[in-house]
Amino acid sequence: MKRLIASLIIVMLMLTGCSNGKPVQSDKGDISNGSNNGFVFKYNDVEITVNTDAAPVIEALGEPNDYFEAESCAFQGKDKTYYYSGFELSTYPKDDNTYISTIYFQDDSVSTPEGICIGSSAEEVIKAYGEEYKGGEGSYTYTLGDTSLIIVTENDTVISVTYQALVDGLN
């Protein structure tokens, strides 16, 4: 059941890229590609931030376990997904570059720098990120700069963690 819910969330996030989004604003002003003012995920000493150039990150991470690409419905070019141990990293093409769009946790072998992983409690999420979130029951969306951190719980246990880029055309 957890995998089904997590899969549905990923599909919803990918489909939002196919919608006609409006320009995204945050409390820090206009969102622009290449900024580095959002949440950061760290894996094997590689810092990964969405809306940044994907090439150096993918090179630093090394060979993925698997790879998938498809024509982007939001931009000209291909959306690409790289599968690593414990997480997947998706990219989007824009202005002759490739940027990181999402980081999705696949299991509990990875965690946020604040210690949240699949299996953490809802209480731990609020302790780590605070009460300033959007969402409904079981859904916690925190926004920092040009990044959303989306955490989904079931029975007060984290079942999904996703870093999502906030960029016109994807949201």
Q: Which of 71, 26, 69 is nearest to 51 (CA)?
A: 26
Q: How far apart are CA 83 and CA 92, in angstroms?
A: 15
Q: Mean pLDDT for each 10-residue chunk of the chain (171 residues)?
A: 43 38 29 59 95 96 96 90 98 93 97 97 96 93 95 97 84 55
Instruction: Please tell me the predicted confidence (pLDDT) of residue 167.
Output: 81
Q: What's the residue count for the chain?
A: 171
Instruction: Tokens for 39, please give them.
Output: 């949440």
Chain centroid, CA 104 distance in Å: 6
Chain centroid, CA 113 distance in Å: 14
Instruction: Please tell me the predicted confidence (pLDDT) of residue 25.
Output: 29
Where exactly are the structural domains of the chain? 2-165
The answer to whether residues 159 and 105 touch, using CB atoms and an 8 Å cutoff, is: no
Instruction: Please tell me the predicted confidence (pLDDT) of residue 64.
Output: 97
Instruction: Please tell me the predicted confidence (pLDDT) of residue 171.
Output: 55
Instruction: Please tell me the predicted confidence (pLDDT) of residue 76.
Output: 87
What is the number of alpha carbons within 13 Å of residue 107 lying toward its C-beta? 5
Q: pLDDT for 125-161, tens place per residue?
A: 999 999 999 998 899 999 999 999 999 999 999 999 9
DSSP helix/strand/coil, 24: coil
- Provide the whole-model pTM: 0.78
Instruction: Tokens for 32, please give them.
Output: 């622009």
Which residues are registered as beta bridge partners of 153? 158
How many of the other CB atoms lie within 10 Å of CB of 70? 10
